[in-house]
């Protein structure tokens, strides 16, 4: 277990030993705040609400398509480029444990960034009464979806030694998972009788219940299943380097 935490600390500190974590977290907070307060016309809205903070296409899309892939692109690609992946795999840990350590290190950075945005609802609460139960489920939902996207990003990073390629693959993968759940996409796919089925595979579809203040077992099962699937695929890709 101590070796697991060694890898975890190594990965987590790597984010903050370079500007990447600070730049990405600050950019995330600024973009989310800009979109919410200015682009979504919060101040001019006669019935302002906090719900669009994560629910709107721009914020949710930025979170899934830019923010998380920017963090996951280095997870394995950097190890491959530097040739340190072989050394890492000599640790007295099996591959799945190394994959989990990297996953949780990156996920912790995501959690820190998301919780930093609590400054937004807290500031809003001084001028607008908020339903903190709904705010809570919104944050649970976005952190749940984050687990899926982080595991996907780890998998795509393991496929290449080029960080930019890993980023692009993560963007494409998370883009597919996000947009297959959007109403227009579902309506189009329903022409082929696939819309409702494909929507259930999308992250945005399952986030909707969280956004409404509901924590549904089906949505939790989806998050756990998809996260586990991508972690297993990640392990298979890394394990294949041993042979």
Q: Report whether pLDDT(206) > 80.
A: yes
DSSP 125: T
Query: What pLDDT does 106 receive?
Result: 94
Query: What pLDDT does 224 receive?
Result: 96
pLDDT digits (tens, 9 = 90+) for 101-117: 999 999 999 999 999 88
- Give the residue ranges of DSSP H helices in 73-131: 77-82, 85-88, 95-116, 119-124
Residue 52 structural domain: 2-242
Q: Report whether pLDDT(148) > 90.
A: yes
- pLDDT above 70 covers a percentage of the chain that reads 88
Residue by residue, DSSP assigns 155-220 as: HHHHT-S-HHHHHHHHHHHHHHHHHTTSHHHHHHHGGGT-HHHHHTT-HHHHHHHHHTT---HHHH
Lowest mean pLDDT across 98-102, 179-183, 223-227: 179-183
Q: What is the mean pLDDT of residues 202-209?
A: 86
Count structural domains, the chain: 1
Query: What pLDDT does 19 receive?
Result: 81
The dihedral over CA atoms of 207, 229, 69, 172, expressed in degrees to the nearest 10, equals -90
Cut 0.75: pTM above it = yes
Query: What pLDDT does 91 receive?
Result: 67
């Amino acid at each position: 277990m101590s070796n697991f935490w060694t890898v975890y600390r190594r990965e987590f500190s790597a984010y903050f030993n370079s500007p990447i974590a600070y730049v990405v977290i600050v950019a995330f907070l600024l973009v989310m705040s800009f979109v919410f307060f200015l682009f979504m016309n919060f101040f001019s809205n006669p019935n302002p609400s906090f719900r669009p903070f994560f629910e709107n296409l721009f914020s949710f899309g930025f979170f899934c398509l830019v923010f998380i892939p920017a963090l996951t692109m280095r997870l394995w690609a950097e190890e491959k480029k530097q040739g340190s992946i072989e050394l890492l795999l000599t640790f007295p840990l099996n591959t799945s444990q190394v994959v989990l350590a990297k996953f949780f290190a990156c996920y912790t950075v995501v959690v820190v960034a998301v919780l930093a945005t609590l400054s937004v609802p807290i500031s809003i609460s001084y001028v607008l009464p908020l339903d903190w139960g709904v705010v809570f489920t919104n944050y649970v939902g976005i952190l749940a979806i984050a687990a899926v996207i982080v595991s996907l990003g780890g998998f795509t990073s393991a496929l290449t030694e080029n960080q930019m390629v890993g980023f692009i693959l993560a963007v494409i993968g998370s883009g597919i998972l996000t947009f297959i759940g959007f109403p227009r996409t579902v309506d189009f796919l329903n022409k082929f009788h696939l819309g409702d089925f494909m929507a259930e595979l999308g992250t945005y579809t399952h986030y909707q219940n969280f956004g409404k203040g509901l924590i549904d077992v089906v949505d939790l099962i989806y998050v756990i299943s998809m996260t586990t699937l991508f972690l297993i695929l990640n392990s298979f890709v890394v394990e294949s380097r041993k042979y």
